[in-house]
Amino acid sequence: MSPSEYVANFFLVIIGFAVSEILRGSAKLIRERRTIKFYWPYLLIIPVLLELLMMVFLWLFTEVSAQNSAWTIAEMVPISLIVIPLALISYLIFPSRIKEGFDMKHFYFNNAKDVIVIAMCQITLVTVMMLTRGELVKAAFQVVTLAISGLVLWKFEKLHLIWLISMIVLINTFIFFIGSVSIGG
């Protein structure tokens, strides 16, 4: 194993913990469905976060596959600042305890703004990384995502569903049309 592969494994373990938390939280919601007041946007949050984690996983996989030398600290810090917020978000979107009559809508409105702020910080970093690499189309795409997120944060109660739906559309557009990743050649 090359030094880059060791470092990538660290990040992949963090992604694995985040996916595990999403699956655990989803299972807990399913198991407790009769005791909670469910709020349907959670059906949108879970695929958005899973798609983001998968995109970062594939990106890390291709970066390690394409690189012959060890990563430097200057390359590792931005990757850390991309992977770690996703893990934080995966822990914020699910309640740690579910009591009888738990209100998912109240929980959602209490935590969603924090998730958007973390996402905006991450999107800003990704935009800077893309600009430094000369990937202007991808950076412009991130700026649009950042603008939508900022607008939604400003008028959250009215626009939060637009943010969730637009993130699904933007992530899928990015994955399949702008930033497609090929594996194995």
- 102: β partners: 36
Q: Does residue 169 have a pLDDT over 60? A: yes
Q: Bigger pLDDT: 37 or 63? A: 37
Phi-psi region of 101 (alpha: psi -120 to 50; beta: other; left: phi over 0): left
Residue 32: strand, helix, or coil: coil
The CA distance from 97 to 105, in Å, is: 15
Contact 29, 150 (CB under 8 A): no
- Per-residue pLDDT of 102-142, as tens digits, reads 898 888 888 888 888 888 888 888 888 888 878 888 788 88
Instruction: Identify the band that residue 181 occupies on the pLDDT scale cut at 50, 70 and 90.
Output: very low
Report which of 98, 122, 110, 106 is spatially closest to residue 49, judged by C-alpha positions: 122
Contact 22, 89 (CB under 8 A): no
Beta-carbon contacts of residue 179 (< 8 Å; ≥ 6 apart): 55, 138, 141
The CA distance from 121 to 5, in Å, is: 26
The whole-number pLDDT of residue 24 equals: 87
List helix spans (H) across the chain. Answer: 3-31, 42-66, 73-92, 104-132, 136-154, 156-173
